[in-house]
Structure 1
Amino acid sequence: MPPRSRAPWPLVAVFTAGYLAAYLLPTVVGSLSAGLGLTPAQAGLVGSTLLSGSATAGFTLASRVERYGPRRLARCGLLLATTGYGCAALTSSVPLVVAGAAFGGFGSGTATAVAAAGFAGRRDPHRASALGLLTVSATAGALYLTLPHLGGGHALPFASIALVAAAVWPATARLESGHDTGEAPAPGAPLPRPRSGLVLAGSLLCWSMAQNALWGVSGRIGVTQAGLSEVTVGAVFAAALGAGLLGVTAAGALGARLGRAVPIGVGTVVIAGCVAVSSAADGLVTFAAGEILWNACYPVVLSYVIGLAASLDPRGRWAVLVGSASSLGVACGPVTGSVLSERAGYPGMGLVLGTLLLLLAVPLTAVALHTSGRPLVAGAVRRRGGAPAAVVAGTAGPGAGPVPQMGAPEQRVTEIPVPVPSRRRTAQRAYRLARPSDAPH
């Protein structure tokens, strides 16, 4: 992982290239439906295939980033993304488009895994993840403003993702090659806090699925139900992502002042209301209000969740696994949204998804409360001075001595046998010292 003193911008660039496909999902699904003549369900299935490849890469590489090296994996991921999305943009054959989307998705997931592991290894993972979401939101917002004016078809969204991946390639030169670190981590080391990590991964899978079920059909809601044009819908999406920029900036400035439980829990409740409003929109005002407020809260909550996952394991394995679970939920989103909208209509779909998000706010908040304020090392608070010692260790700078990292495994205690003299020998020695000296005066 990159040294802590090094700027996170190479990781932020790689994260942007890997996460951009998920942010452009409505445009990708809509362009597949319009350009290739696919039904909404078929177009959603292609989008799910893309994001399934991304999730597969994350689950596969969760514990292998350090072994293969961030630079090598990032370059492989960017190469796959550029090739896969580029091929999907250059062909009109549906099987080739699906294959290109799957390969590109695997490349995106590889790049995201490298960035997530790098964020977890930094001193402030929340700030690094907030910068990544800030950059990807700005890039996606610029594309939402630009692509509708360049024509229709499926080629433009895929080509834009491929070009961003190619443009990020030079940034990988500043990542570690895998041979720069001194000591490799012990293979097969168990994951710390498995219960919290599994609950967080499962909850985020459903959380991402619920939101991307609406995000995948938001374009169709704006056009068919709200009666807006493609250009107007693109402008609303750009404004929504601009609000996301402000939200992520505010989250980065706020930092840990409110902890993680309040932003995650309250933010998820607000998002649930926005989902219901946006899905029931019948005009520009309600559609724009729901989308803008929703996208302002979504990256804020996601940045805190990524920071929470990174704090569970400084090696970044939980960050990668939780991110992959999120990608799997995103992959299931378009199909779920298409099925729910066809069965219950857009307003009914919004009620179902909003209710699910309200229920998910409980375990997400519980994990944030359970892991906040935990000692840096297991048993450290009990044996080394209680909560004040943990606070001092957590706030000390890099020059504070050999303070273990957050979540680092406790050093094994080796018992050294020390011979203890018997009571009789101790008493004889004390008697000899107490006798007056026999030396002549």
Structure 2
Amino acid sequence: MSSTSTSAPPTPDDPRVPLGPRNGSAVFLVSLAGLMLANLAPLIMSVFEQIGFDVVASGNILTWGLFTSAIIGLATSRAAAGTRRRTIAASGLGIATIAFLVAALVTGPTALIVISFLIGSAGLGTAVSTSGAAIAALRNPNRVSASSGVVNRLLVMVVLAVIPILGLAQITVFGSLALLSLVSFAVTVWLPSTPETSTTEVLAETRAEATPLSSRPRTPRTVLLAGIGVLIVFPLWGTSEDSVWTLAPTLGDAVGMSDQTLGFALSAAAGIGAGAMLVVTLLGSRIGRALPLGIALALGGAIKIWIGVETDPAMLATLIIAVNTIYAFAFTLFIATAAGLDARGNWSGPLIGAYIVGSSFAPIIGAWIIDGVGIPTFGLIVGLVSFVLIIPTMLIARVSTRVEKTLNSLDEAAVTHERTP
């Protein structure tokens, strides 16, 4: 029951398939499940405080949950790029459904709730790897990753609005994680199949045909270095961005920002960020990757430095909205860059897991910097991270775009050859 059955099949030179209703809903929902733990972080902490843990202990439990999810995501990323992608996703989401249901329903002991939460978090790790790898199997990674981001943000806004209405409690928070895991489990059969031939194999074989005396086909070195590079650059950038996001209350308190203003800024950032992703969805591959990413990192770096020295609450709120809008735009293009490097998802599969490893420590690192050297220096440090990463990010994005253009050229040449009498 594959989603590819209702869309154009892959060609020998382009192993990717078009985005359709079935494969799209599967990729988007499984991706949402993988990221929902981080999206519900404030509510999860509140629930653990309700059942008896202090704020430090609640934060530690959440950190370990995120870290566990990331490690499982990394551990399963290679397999997620293989033929067992759907089995891995279904197994993890099935475990997550049961574990979060236990966490939602049991009343004690608290240790059982924590253990169930951590097991559920581990199960979601397979959603992180399989959704990341599956994105690479679909054509036009810019549009697919942006569409996934838009769906993610809109559904998260709905969940964050509905849970407080129903009541912030163990049953609603952990129950929502169980429900989402179950729905995602049901659509894993629609995840796009892993291509028989990887992008790098196509490129390697093409190069070998051009130079018959060379040894057997190998992954082009530039693609290999770009893949390794994006797994390093993306988490570093994400850690600096998430430090600002998670410590926004601390930054606001320092300038006398009200809770209402802060809440508006964070909500607006989520909504406008979805708009930035929608722009990428509409423009697709036409905007490229290297130049937009370079501009986004430069603007984001400058704004983060500005945040460190801003003393007006209203302007600080505006800057928080701006930096997180740019973050959403760049995040989408980073995912597309990794997906563009290989259709099987060898690089996009572990990407989110690597990101979550870094972001899970962002609050600790950011708080340590602020406590040690102050907010202005904190802003300078996290801003400089973006500037330092501009050149390697643009180089990696150029390789990703070049790989896609090469495949498209090969595909067009193959079609022309078949039509020629």
Query: Is the shorter-chain TM-score for this pair beyond 0.5, marking a shared fold?
Result: yes
Partner residue in 2 for 1:116: 132
CA contact (8 A) 2:195 2:344 kept: no
- Aligned counterpart for 2:299 among listed residues 270, 273, 279: 270
Question: Can you give the 5+ residue segments of structure 2 that lack an aligned partner in the other structure?
Answer: 5-16, 202-216
> Compared with structure 1, are the counterparts of its residues 182 and 243 closer, same or farther at alpha carbon in structure 2 (3 Å cutoff)?
closer
> Compared with structure 1, are the counterparts of its residues 208 and 287 closer, same or farther at alpha carbon in structure 2 (3 Å cutoff)?
same
Partner residue in 2 for 1:60: 75
> What code does the residue aligned with 1:196 have?
A
Instruction: Map residues 359-438 of structure 1 onto 2, 5 A cutoff.
Output: 359-374=388-403, 392-393=409-410, 396=412
Query: How far apart, in 2, do the equivalents of 1:121 and 1:190 lie?
Result: 21
Larger Rg: 1
Partner residue in 1 for 2:122: 106
Partner residue in 1 for 2:281: 252
> Compared with structure 1, are the counterparts of its residues 281 and 304 closer, same or farther at alpha carbon in structure 2 (3 Å cutoff)?
same
Partner residue in 1 for 2:87: 72
Query: How far apart, in 1, do the equivalents of 2:170 and 2:374 lie?
Result: 26
Query: How far apart, in 1, do the equivalents of 2:325 and 2:376 lie?
Result: 21
Partner residue in 2 for 1:139: 155
CA contact (8 A) 2:77 2:350 kept: yes
Q: Which secondary structure state, in structure 2, belongs to the residue aligned with residue 122 of structure 1?
A: coil
Query: How far apart, in 1, do the equivalents of 2:67 and 2:417 lie?
Result: 44
> What code does the residue aligned with 2:136 have?
A
Query: How far apart, in 1, do the equivalents of 2:374 and 2:52 lie?
Result: 24
Query: How far apart, in 1, do the equivalents of 2:123 and 2:45 lie?
Result: 19
Normalising by structure 1, we get a TM-score of 0.75
The structure with more helix, counted as a fraction of residues: 2
> Compared with structure 1, are the counterparts of its residues 284 and 143 closer, same or farther at alpha carbon in structure 2 (3 Å cutoff)?
farther
Q: Which runs of 4+ in 1 moved over 6 A?
A: none
CA contact (8 A) 2:95 2:120 kept: yes
Structure 1 residue 138 displacement after superposition:
0.8
Partner residue in 1 for 2:348: 319
The yes-or-no answer on 1:238 pairing with 2:267 is: yes
> What code does the residue aligned with 2:145 have?
S
- Aligned counterpart for 2:180 among listed residues 142, 164, 167: 164
Query: How far apart, in 1, do the equivalents of 2:293 and 2:310 lie?
Result: 26
1:57-113 residue CA offsets vs partner (Å, 9 max, x unmatched): 222112212546333222222223333444444557664454334323222221121
1:4-44 residue CA offsets vs partner (Å, 9 max, x unmatched): 2461222111111211222333444466567645345x444
The yes-or-no answer on 1:288 pairing with 2:317 is: yes
Partner residue in 2 for 1:202: 232
Query: How far apart, in 1, do the equivalents of 2:330 and 2:297 lie?
Result: 7
Partner residue in 2 for 1:382: none
CA contact (8 A) 1:121 1:315 kept: yes
> What code does the residue aligned with 1:142 have?
V
Query: How far apart, in 1, do the equivalents of 2:305 and 2:165 lie?
Result: 30
> What code does the residue aligned with 1:373 have?
R
Structure 1 residue 284 displacement after superposition:
4.9
Query: How far apart, in 1, do the equivalents of 2:330 and 2:224 lie?
Result: 22
1:318-341 residue CA offsets vs partner (Å, 9 max, x unmatched): 111222211211222232233333
Q: Which secondary structure state, in structure 1, belongs to the residue aligned with residue 285 of structure 2?
A: coil
- Higher RCO structure (Cα 8 Å, ≥6 apart): 2
Normalising by structure 2, we get a TM-score of 0.78
Query: How far apart, in 1, do the equivalents of 2:376 and 2:59 lie?
Result: 19
> What code does the residue aligned with 2:95 have?
L
Structure 1 residue 228 displacement after superposition:
2.5
Identity of aligned residues (%): 23
**Bigger mean CA offset, 119-128 vs 152-161:** 152-161
Query: How far apart, in 2, do the equivalents of 1:182 and 1:148 lie?
Result: 43
